[in-house]
């Protein structure tokens, strides 16, 4: 991942008309994104010194912090426990890992996965499926339900931070699937 960005659809791929409708402008030079620090040539129309690389950064949505509590658009509360790299077992990590928890992988068919800790203290989840042909590391978020059985879940971070499908859930006012829980 670039710095703290979630690698959303970058504004560089948008047309000038789409940028205009969002209150943005394409610059003739590059600046740093005001939220994540990535280099971009898009900025807010009313403040061209404030670069912005993607829609999440434009909306001021940053990657959740560890132990931050989030509200799902359906009303339940969750807590972020960490970030996990999904890796194919035969391509990475030929040394011992220490298993710590089992979590439901919601992005890959609701299967249980074992989250492990490597020698550097990073969370890793090895995939043993030979059909899993992704060459790159996948960043997932490990989070826990703060209700019911307090189950643990893994979800691809782009999916976790995705927008609510307004066609499927037109009554939902929340723009993103998970938002920071405001303390009362």
SS3 call for 99: strand
The pTM of the full predicted model, rounded to 2 decimals, is 0.71
Domain ranges of the chain: 11-58, 69-160
Cα–Cα distance, 14 to 18 (Å, whole number):
6
pLDDT digit of tens for each residue in the chain (184 aa)? 344 445 456 787 788 998 998 899 999 888 888 877 778 889 898 888 888 887 778 877 777 888 999 999 999 999 999 888 776 665 555 556 677 888 888 877 778 888 887 777 777 777 766 555 554 456 788 999 999 999 999 988 878 888 899 999 999 999 999 988 876 4
- Reported residue count of the chain is 184
């Amino acid at each position: 991942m670039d710095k703290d960005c979630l690698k959303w659809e970058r504004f560089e791929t948008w047309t000038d008309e789409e940028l205009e409708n969002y209150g943005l402008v394409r610059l003739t030079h590059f600046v740093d994104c005001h939220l994540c620090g990535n280099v971009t040539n898009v900025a807010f129309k009313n403040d061209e010194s404030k670069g912005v690389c993607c829609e999440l950064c434009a909306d001021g949505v940053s990657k959740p912090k560890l132990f931050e509590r989030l509200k799902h658009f359906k009303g339940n509360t969750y807590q972020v426990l960490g970030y996990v790299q999904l890796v194919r077992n035969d391509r990475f990590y030929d040394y011992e890992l220490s298993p710590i928890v089992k979590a439901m992988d919601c992005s890959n068919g609701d299967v249980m996965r074992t989250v492990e800790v490597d020698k550097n203290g990073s969370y890793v989840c090895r995939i043993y499926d030979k059909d899993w042909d992704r060459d790159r590391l996948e960043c997932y978020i490990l989070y826990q339900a703060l209700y019911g059985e307090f189950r643990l879940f893994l979800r691809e971070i782009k999916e976790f931070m995705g927008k609510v499908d307004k066609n499927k859930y037109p009554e939902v006012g929340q723009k993103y699937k998970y938002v920071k829980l405001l303390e009362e």
